Amino acid sequence: MRISKSASLFAGVLIAASLSTSPASAVTTVDVPGDVLRIVEVGTDAMGADSYANRNREFVKFQNVSNAPVDVAGVLVEDNWAHARTVGGDAHTCNTYKIVDLPSNATTMVQPNEYVTVFNGSRWGGNRKVGSEYQLFANSDTDCGTFGQFYNNDADTAWVTKANGADVYSSKSWDWNGGYTVKP
């Protein structure tokens, strides 16, 4: 499911309607970032038994598919549980990661076509940039989900949003069991 896409289409319908029949004030509702940061892959299930040691098999990878740099400061990467809490004004420290900086980058700007991958585990040496991909490590707490793994294997949604949770860049849902990653 592509929330941002459908919301953008809805906004377009509203704009079109207002141009033909309504005052401009009718266009007030949808303020989504649009198709800018797009999820391209989600790691949902570590191969074999899920453990604290293989948390990095859970990840969310997204790409700047726009033609301009995007500031990702404050961008949230969450599962469906954490996303609902954030939107409801009751954010939790589990199952959520907020981007605060980027490795090998003096700013928080992601250039067109570059990727950001948020892994749930940790890495000796911390965050790094490999080629056109920023690799960030959330170091999910063992108390979150199952040993720090929190994307449901069978059915869940990964979200990439602005800091308020409500402005959605991209989401990816799945409702199956039998693979280790999902792609749109």
- DSSP state letter for 54: G
Given the complex with Ca ion, which of 58 and 114 has the nearer CB atom? 58
To which residue do tokens 């602005």 refer? Answer: 162
**CA dist., res. 138 & res. 52, Å (int):** 13
- Considering the complex, what minimum distance in angstroms separates the CB of residue 50 from Ca ion? 4
Q: Which is nearer to Ca ion, 18 or 181 (CB)?
A: 181
CB of 46 to Ca ion, least distance (A): 5
Single-letter amino acid code for the residue at 8: S
CB of 121 to Ca ion, least distance (A): 12
Q: Among 115, 137, 151, 174, which residue sits at the site for Ca ion (rule: CB under 5 A)?
A: 151
Q: Which is nearer to Ca ion, 153 or 170 (CB)?
A: 153
Q: Which residues contact 164 (CB under 8 A, 6 or more apart)?
A: 86, 87
Interface region with Ca ion, contact rule CB under 5 A, candidates 35-43, 46-54, 88-96, 162-170: 46-54
- 58: nearest Cα among 169, 134, 152, 130: 152
Residue 48 φ/ψ region, left for φ over 0, alpha for ψ in the -120 to 50 degree band, beta for the rest: left
Which of 32, 46, 76, 118 forms a contact with Ca ion (CB under 5 A)? 46
Q: State the number of CA atoms in the 13 A half-sphere of 97 facing the CB.
A: 29
Query: Are 37 and 62 a contacting pair, CB within 8 Å?
Result: yes
Note whether 119 binds Ca ion by CB under 5 A.
no
Q: Which one of residues 36, 38, 50, 80 is an interface residue with Ca ion (CB under 5 A)? A: 50
Q: Is residue 45 a contact point for Ca ion (CB under 5 A)?
A: yes
Alpha helices in 33-79, H assignment, sequence order: none
For Ca ion, which is the closer residue by CB, 4 or 150? 150
Shortest distance, CB of residue 35 to Ca ion, whole angstroms? 27
Residues within the interface to Ca ion (CB under 5 A): 45-46, 50, 149, 151, 153
